[in-house]
Chains A and B, each alone.
Chain A
Amino acid sequence: MNAIEFDNCSILFGKDSKHALSLADEGMERPAIKEATGCVLGAHNASLSVAEGEIVVLMGLSGSGKSTLLRAVNGLNDVTRGDVRVRMGSRMVSVPDADRACLRALRLGHVSMVFQQFGLLPWRSVAENIGLGLELAGATPASRRARVDAQLAAVGLDGWADRPVAELSGGMQQRVGLARAFATEAPILLMDEPFSALDPLIRSRLQDELLDLQRESRRTILFVSHDLDEAFKLGNRIALMDGGRIVQTGTAREILARPANDYVADFVSHLNPLDVLTASDLAEAGKADGSPLPADMPLKQVLSALADNTACPVAGGGVITRDAVLRRLAAA
């Protein structure tokens, strides 16, 4: 079951969006459209569906339209043409067609969000920030308290409840941002480069914590990132964007093994293949002696297996040779 569906979604900023849209349909690129109409092409004909419980990462360089697309899910950006549908209980609701009350219900209980710059209210305490979504929904302070405390514990901030958020470090502030998003118990979570403003060590720790939280309460997460390692670490699937268009969607391995065009190939060329590729990606036609390696064995373990043999068979057919792997790694 899908939780989010983008259906030929186009987002333009500016007045003469109709004309700009027709130019985009002819395949014109963003700078030329801006020149001709004054409109900025945010996203064009983007189609993507996110299944329930899945983490999909929208990835691309800055300005590729990934945040623009993300913000259409909860109506922060208006969709110019096409549709964005979001699951509310048993039905899919079209966000562009939603009236004010429906949009509010969606934001209160079905879709929550984490921001790159945290977006915390600096004059409030940690607990008051975490309870924001519940407060806006009209929950009484007493009924908020229990859920806020649970979230405080979940992100490891118990004991900080009454401190002003301004006193916290960046990493802790984003933990508050995470707790605020989890507190509404919305099944869909939008994350707009949530860890980009943090230093690498904290970033990596928060990524792990996010994966832990995700194991406990399976949510649908649409995650925006410009960091390839982050995308490959978190994403079940990745959608690569360029100039407002989605150029390839697939798992990390699919993208690495078969990049759709030069942009994607260039993008993934800096990635460490040790973290992503598995035995089946390296297999060639042929046969070898010995016990076969499992098809999903990570490359690191394949290498240690090849230290003892020049060639190993792969379960389900094919062979991995030492020479082929060395050639592949040298090329990357």
Chain B
Amino acid sequence: MARLTTRLADWFAGEKIPVGDTADRVFDWLTVNASGLFDAIAAGMQAMIDAILWALITPPPLAVIAVFMLIALLLQRHWLTVIGVMLGFLYILNQGYWEETMQSLTLVLASCLVCMAIGVPTGIALAHRPRLYSWTRPLLDLMQTLPSFVYLIPAIVFFGIGLVPGLIATVIFVLPAPIRLTQLGISSTPVALREAATAFGATPRQLLWKVELPSALPQIMAGLNQTIMLSLSMVVIAALVGASGLGVPVVRALNSVNTGLGFESGMVIVVVAVMLDRMLRVRRKS
């Protein structure tokens, strides 16, 4: 009996399902056949990253802080938030992490632009096609549950090292959040509102712009907030593929078991996260 189970287990382990081999073959095929596409994507991403980074690094830090304070004021109209943003940036400047912070902000901003540009239209399309959405859900689940480290390997293969592979891995990991939240917002538009607008002659396009999108705005803004927070959480992981920024000192601290450096850079990431969250929070009246 014992021999039988051993043989059964041996037989079972002998025929390994080729998940790894298949992934290998798929990525090999893509490297050979789609390198042009990947090069184009990489060039586009690089140009966007360069532009954002230039805009953040070139002006003197105090000017950048003033601009962020202005944005906070315009978005929140709340003086405490504006002062908090100022104190946060001054703390970063004090700790000597200005350049790293700007590099990480570049990654976060670029990831936001890409994720919202792809996520919102995709979410709208899926909300209008419930059956397609039910087919897409496993893919979105997979994108979010697969450990984000795993994305780094093909990202290096296709895009080399630096901020671009970091951005790609971040986008793949983060994209499901704005898609899901936009889909939720659009599809939970009250039927009564949709019918009222239809009864007054709204075309499908008017329905989208005048009813569905305004009704889904809180969810879409929550999606933006999620995108920022999840992108920030990828900052350290992106450092593993050579993306410069706040992740680099964290990784260095880990490799050299330097507790002080780890906490110092970790606290800066926390400060950035709190500032971005407070700046972009949606406060809906009633």
Q: State the Cβ distance, B197 to closest chain A Cβ, in Å.
A: 7
Chain B interface residue bracket vs A: 10 to 19
Residues of the A chain whose Cβ atoms lie less than 8 Å from the Cβ of B195: 76, 115, 119
A180 to B197 Cα, complex, angstroms: 11
Residues of the A chain whose Cβ atoms lie less than 8 Å from the Cβ of B197: 121, 132, 136
Please tell me if B193 contacts chain A, counting CB pairs below 8 Å.
yes
Contact yes or no, B199 A123, CB < 8 A:
no
* Highest count of chain B CB atoms <10 Å: which of A74, A108, A115, A121: A121
Contact yes or no, A113 B211, CB < 8 A:
no
Other-chain residue from B192, B201, B202, B214 in contact with A123 (beta carbon distance below 8 A):
B214
Q: State the Cβ distance, B222 to closest chain A Cβ, in Å.
A: 16
- How many contacting A-B pairs (Cβ < 8 A)? 62
Residues of the A chain whose Cβ atoms lie less than 8 Å from the Cβ of B22: none
Q: State the Cβ distance, B100 to closest chain A Cβ, in Å.
A: 40
Residues from 166 to 196 in B contacting A, C-beta threshold 8 Å: 192-193, 195-196
Residues of the B chain whose Cβ atoms lie less than 8 Å from the Cβ of A123: 214-215, 217
Contact yes or no, B192 A117, CB < 8 A:
yes
Residues of the B chain whose Cβ atoms lie less than 8 Å from the Cβ of A117: 192
- Known A-B contacts A108-B200, A108-B201, A136-B206; A119 and B193 likewise in contact (beta carbons under 8 Å): yes
Residues of the B chain whose Cβ atoms lie less than 8 Å from the Cβ of A180: 200
Residues of the A chain whose Cβ atoms lie less than 8 Å from the Cβ of B198: 76, 107
Give the number of chain A interface residues (Cβ < 8 Å): 26
A180 to B196 Cα, complex, angstroms: 11
Residues from 216 to 240 in B contacting A, C-beta threshold 8 Å: 217
Residues of the A chain whose Cβ atoms lie less than 8 Å from the Cβ of B200: 107-108, 112-113, 132-133, 136, 180, 184
Please tell me if B256 contacts chain A, counting CB pairs below 8 Å.
no
Please tell me if B255 contacts chain A, counting CB pairs below 8 Å.
no
Contact yes or no, A74 B203, CB < 8 A:
no
Contact yes or no, A121 B214, CB < 8 A:
yes
Contact yes or no, B196 A115, CB < 8 A:
yes
Q: State the Cβ distance, A107 to closest chain B Cβ, in Å.
A: 4
- Known A-B contacts A136-B206, A166-B286; A121 and B193 likewise in contact (beta carbons under 8 Å): yes
What 1/0 mask marks residues of chain A from 150 to 194 whose CB sits below 8 Å from any chain B CB?
Answer: 000000000000001011000000000000100010000010000
A122 to B195 Cα, complex, angstroms: 14
What 1/0 mask marks residues of chain A from 100 to 132 whose CB sits below 8 Å from any chain B CB?
Answer: 000011111000110101011101000000001
What 1/0 mask marks residues of chain B from 246 to 286 whose CB sits below 8 Å from any chain A CB?
Answer: 00000000000000000000000000000000000000011
A248 to B277 Cα, complex, angstroms: 63
24 contacts between A and B (CB under 8 A): A76-B199, A104-B201, A106-B201, A108-B200, A108-B201, A113-B199, A113-B200, A115-B196, A119-B193, A119-B195, A121-B193, A121-B210, A121-B211, A121-B214, A123-B217, A132-B196, A136-B202, A136-B203, A136-B210, A137-B201, A164-B285, A164-B286, A167-B286, A190-B199
Besides A74-B199, A104-B203, 16 more A-B contacts (Cβ < 8 Å) are A76-B199, A104-B201, A107-B198, A108-B200, A113-B196, A113-B199, A115-B196, A115-B199, A117-B192, A119-B195, A123-B215, A123-B217, A132-B197, A136-B200, A136-B210, A184-B200
